[in-house]
Amino acid sequence: MAKAKQNRAFITLYRLYVAAFFLFLAAPLVAAGSFAFNDSLFPALPWQGFTLDWFFSPNEPKLGMFYDRRLLSGLYYSFVIGILVSSLSVFVGTTNAFLFVRGSFPAKNFFYILMILPLVIPGVILGISILVLASNIANGVENAFNYEIDMLRPGIFLVVLGQFSFITTITSLVITARLRKFDHSMEEAALNLGASRLQVLRTVTLPFLRPAMIAAGIVGFLVSFENFNTTLFLVGSESPLTITMFDRMAKVGSTPVLNAVSFVLIIGSGLLALITVAVQRDKSSG
């Protein structure tokens, strides 16, 4: 009897802990999103009434996010950078998975650790390092040949390169974990039936990896979209959304239009997360 009471008490405490944990995670998001609908010039209480002006108003002082050219421009560049980074990261991550799971070469463990290293290096250090390296190369070429390499100056190319340097590690780990579960007998059976290596890769191996590749691509896109530390040091005139919002905060201060942007990003990120979960639960994962 006493043991049953202890078990009930433990379960109750555990449920309270889980509820408090998720409340801690959700409360800031709910607060940030709710002020996007407050009919006030400041994202603060008291509540002045419900409005959609911070999304759709074409006029100041309540210029909505869908009429704010700088925010829309930042959103566009974030999408472009995110798609480029996630696509490159999935491609290289897939090749890395084959290299480290099926390859055999000297110092394999050392190179595997080297691949993981960018995850533990602060984004600020990565950004500064890439900027210094690119600038030194560009300056050296300009001094030696009187030729300017524009793509090695702050801009989209360097932002993509900087984010790619650590997001590829994430995609590599996700796809590698999936490839380790692959049953090699499936490839052997296809080869025995007369399929070529390329056909086996296209019809057997890559379809098995597809859920992990899609999930890794979505995670890579989200990490790229929200990245700030590395991007800050590499950005040029084409500022992505995180830098645009930071610049707005520094010059104007917090306004509900930034809450409106946050609300849209929360919904978008949530939908992508659900897609990731759905893909990972693919029946083909066996």
CATH number at residue 186: 1.10.3720.10
pLDDT of residue 244: 94
pLDDT of residue 105: 86
Q: pLDDT tens for residues 90-137?
A: 999 999 999 999 888 898 899 999 999 998 899 999 999 999 999 999
* Angle, vertex CA 191, rays to CA 93 and CA 201, nearest 5: 20
CA distance 116 to 103: 17
Please give the DSSP secondary-structure letter assigned to residue 145.
H
130 occurs within a structural domain: yes
Provide CB contacts within 8 A for 94, sequence distance 6+. Answer: 171, 175, 209, 213
**Total tally of structural domains belonging to the chain:** 1
Cα 82–chain centre separation: 7
26 occurs within a structural domain: no
Give, for all 286 residues of the chain, the pLDDT tens digit: 566 666 788 888 889 999 999 888 888 888 888 999 999 888 888 888 999 999 999 988 889 999 999 999 999 999 999 999 999 999 999 999 999 998 888 988 999 999 999 988 999 999 999 999 999 999 999 999 989 888 999 999 999 999 999 999 999 999 999 999 988 888 888 888 888 888 988 899 999 999 999 999 999 999 999 999 999 999 988 899 999 999 988 888 888 999 999 999 999 988 988 888 887 775 444 4
CA distance 244 to 259: 14
Please give the DSSP secondary-structure letter assigned to residue 194.
T
265 occurs within a structural domain: yes
CA distance 43 to 262: 12
CB 104 within 8 A of CB 183: no
Q: How far does the chain reach from its first CA to its final CA, in angstroms?
A: 42
pLDDT of residue 285: 47
159 occurs within a structural domain: yes
260 occurs within a structural domain: yes
Domain that holds residue 161: 68-285
The residues that bridge with 38 in the sheet, in sequence order, are 50
Residues 217, 219, 220, 224: is their CA dihedral positive or negative? Answer: positive
The 10 Å CB-count burial string (b at 16+, else e) for 87-98 is: ebbbebbbebbe
CB 198 within 8 A of CB 118: no
155 occurs within a structural domain: yes
pLDDT of residue 69: 93
pLDDT of residue 4: 65
101 occurs within a structural domain: yes
